[in-house]
Amino acid sequence: MGVVRPRRTEAQHADHGFFGPGSVTWKVWSYPTSLALGFLRAVVVEELDPFLLASVEQSGQVVARPRLRYDRTMQYFATIKFGDTASVLAAADTLMKIHARAVGTDPVTGRQYDANDPDSQLWIHLTAWHSILYTYEVFGPGKLPAAEEAQYWEECARAAEFQTIDPADVPRTRDGIRAYFASYRPRLIASENAQRMMDFLLDADAIVLPPELPAPLRRLFTAVTRRAVVATLPRWMRRLGGTPQPRVVDALAIAVTRPVIRLVACSTALQLAVLRAASPRTVPVLEPVLRGTPARRPVVSTPAEAYAAHGPTPREQYTALLEARARRQGPEPYPARHREPLLDFA
C-alpha cells in the first residue's frame, strides 16, 4: 500500500479586502510587471524628492538591507491591494508606527521632513500607482480601456485612505496625474545623494534576486532591467537623475523585456516561482489571488465601513501624533542608520 500524502491546502483570505476580483487594481497590480519593473521605477523616481531621500539616508535601510527592504515593501503594497480587511488595517497601522519615527532635518533644504506628512505620502502613493500602471502598459497588455483607467484612479484614491492622504487630493484622470507631477517637479532636487541612490536602486540584482544565483545571471538581469526601467523615464527626469540613455537602447530594452514578461504572465506556477525567489513575504498575500482561490467571505469592504468599526483612520492617528509632538511626547526618531528590529506587516 502506498504512502498517503496529505493534500496540499492553499492559502485563503478571510474576505476580498477593499478591491476584490472585479477591480482594475487586481488586474494591473497582479501582473508580473509590478514585481520588479513597476516597483523599481517607482522607488527610483521617488529619490528625487529631497524629503524622501533625507528619510532614506537617515534610516540607511535601503543600502544596508536592500533585499529585506524590497521584500517588506512588496509585502505592504500587496497586502493593501490583495489582503483581507483585517490584514489591510493592520498593515496600515504598522506603516503609521514605522513612519512615526522617520522625522528629521533634510540636509539639502534645511527643512523638516516627516514620512507621515500627507504631501510626502501623496508623492510616494501616486508615483507607485502611476509606475505600476505605466510599466503594465509598456511591457504588458497595453493601455486600459478608458472606463477601466477611470476605475483604476478611483481605486487609487480608495487606497490612499490607508495612509494620511486626503483622498480628495488624488487625481482621478491621466491628465490630472500629469498635472500633479508637473506641479511637483519644481520641488525635485538632483543632488549627488539622489543620483547615487537612483544608481544603487537600478542595480536591481542586489535588491530583487536571491544571492545564491550565479553572477552571470545577476549581471544579465541588472543590465536588462536597468535599461528597461530607464526607458520608461521622461527625458527631463533622466537628466535630473544622471541616467542618460539613447532612444535605440530604450527600444531594444523594451523589445527584449516585453516577451519575457508576457511569457511569465502566461503561467501561474512561473509567477509564483519568481515571487518566491524575489519576495517570499509577498507569497501568502498574492498566491490566493494568482490561483483564483475564493475568499471565505467573498465581500468587498469600503475604508469608511472598516474604520467606522475599527478606527481610528491614519489621518486621525496623524493628528494625534502631531498633538503629542507639540507636547514634546511621541516616539523618538530613528537613530542614524539604525539596525533595530523592524515591525512586521504580517
DSSP 299: -
Q: What is the pTM of this model?
A: 0.94
Long-range contacts at 246-252 (CB < 8 A, ≥ 24 apart): 252/227
pLDDT tens, 9-61? 457 899 999 999 999 999 999 999 999 999 999 999 999 999 999 999 988 88
Backbone angles phi, psi at 107, to 5 degrees: -70, -20
pLDDT mean over 304-313: 94
Separation CA 261–CA 134 (nearest Å): 14
Q: Tell me the pLDDT band of 164, cut-offs 50, 70 and 90.
A: very high
Backbone angles phi, psi at 112, to 5 degrees: -80, 140
Total residue length of the chain: 346
pLDDT on residue 11: 79
Q: Tell me the pLDDT band of 171, cut-offs 50, 70 and 90.
A: very high
At 119, list the grid cell. 504631501
pLDDT on residue 6: 32
Q: Is a pLDDT exceeding 80 seen at residue 7?
A: no
What 3-state DSSP class applies to 300? coil
What 3-state DSSP class applies to 22? coil
Q: Tell me the pLDDT band of 1, cut-offs 50, 70 and 90.
A: very low
Separation CA 233–CA 215 (nearest Å): 27
pLDDT tens, 184-218? 999 999 999 999 999 999 998 989 999 899 999 99
Q: What percent of the chain has pLDDT over 70?
A: 97
Q: Tell me the pLDDT band of 2, cut-offs 50, 70 and 90.
A: very low
pLDDT tens, 280-302? 999 999 999 999 999 999 999 99
How high does pLDDT run on average in the chain?
93
H or E segment at 133? Answer: helix 118-139
